[in-house]
Amino acid sequence: MTKRAKSIENLIRELNKLPGIGRKTAQRLAYYIIDLDKVEVKTLAESIVAAKENVKRCKICDNLTDSDICEICSNNKRDESLICVVEYPKDVEAMERANCYKGLYHVLHGVISPIRGLNADDISLRKLLQRLSTNKVEEVIIATGPNVDGETTAIYISNILSKLGVKVSRIAYGLPVGGDLEYYDELTISTAMENRTVMGEK
């Protein structure tokens, strides 16, 4: 076996740690990067560092942003009486692509999953409750995924919010069950939003 230069080996190892990047792809990317000119490599490396340094959680909704308050929270055309609760920032993007919702969001950054040992302390729930105590929120729409963890999370949040007298609804997933919001097309998402059902009613 030919000995590979240590720097190349290091680069391959780091790339290999990324999700969806197997050893072979990591090798291909490493050699591609080495073939780039110096300026291009520098731009690539700097954009990774800058993204990590500049991106933070919005002080209101916990979505990822470059500023203290994200673009959606600081847009006064958005309906402040609605909060749509999603699992991850990519779900906000999916919802915005569907262009069917004009309220605000709250990003949990996870789900409650007893099987995986994740409980309510592992998601951004406290901040959501704080928002409800200070803002004029009329409805919280839960848009966690249509799978076991998403459902568990939705029921948990709904139970808490119902006790606080907040109207809680769940978006209605029509067809595919078991997927993630980000994989649905715009029509599925907007239909799910339109057909949302109220939770916690006896």
> Measured from the CB atom, is 28 or 97 closer to Zn ion?
97
> Measured from the CB atom, is 73 or 95 closer to Zn ion?
73
Whole-angstrom CA distances from 105 to 47, 79, 142, 190 are 27, 10, 10, 15
> Measured from the CB atom, is 107 or 157 closer to Zn ion?
107
Number of residues forming the site for Zn ion (CB under 5 A): 6
Contact letters for Zn ion, residues 49-88 (x by CB under 5 A): ---------x-xx-x------x--x---------------
> Measured from the CB atom, is 72 or 161 closer to Zn ion?
72
Question: In whole angstroms, what is the distance from residue 101 CA to residue 169 CA?
Answer: 14
Q: Which residues contact 131 (CB under 8 A, 6 or more apart)?
A: 60, 61, 83, 106, 137
* 167-186 residues labelled b (16+ CB within 10 A) or e (exposed): bbbbbebeeeeeebbbebee
Cβ 177 to Zn ion shortest distance, Å: 29
> Measured from the CB atom, is 46 or 79 closer to Zn ion?
79
Say if residues 168 and 199 touch (Cβ distance below 8 Å): yes
Q: Which residues contact 189 (CB under 8 A, 6 or more apart)?
A: 94, 95, 97, 98, 100, 181
Site for Zn ion contains 15 (CB under 5 A): no
The 8-class DSSP code of residue 4 comes to: P
Cβ 59 to Zn ion shortest distance, Å: 7
Cβ 166 to Zn ion shortest distance, Å: 19
> Measured from the CB atom, is 107 or 111 closer to Zn ion?
107
Per the DSSP assignment, residues forming a β-bridge with 79 are: 103
Q: Which amino acid is at 122?
A: D
Cβ 104 to Zn ion shortest distance, Å: 7
**Alpha-carbon dihedral of residues 153, 202, 136, 73, nearest 10 degrees?**
30
Cβ 63 to Zn ion shortest distance, Å: 5
**Backbone phi and psi for residue 105, each to the nearest 5 degrees, phi listed first:** -120, 165
Cβ 69 to Zn ion shortest distance, Å: 6
Q: Which residues would be at the binding site for Zn ion (CB under 5 A)?
A: 58, 60-61, 63, 70, 73
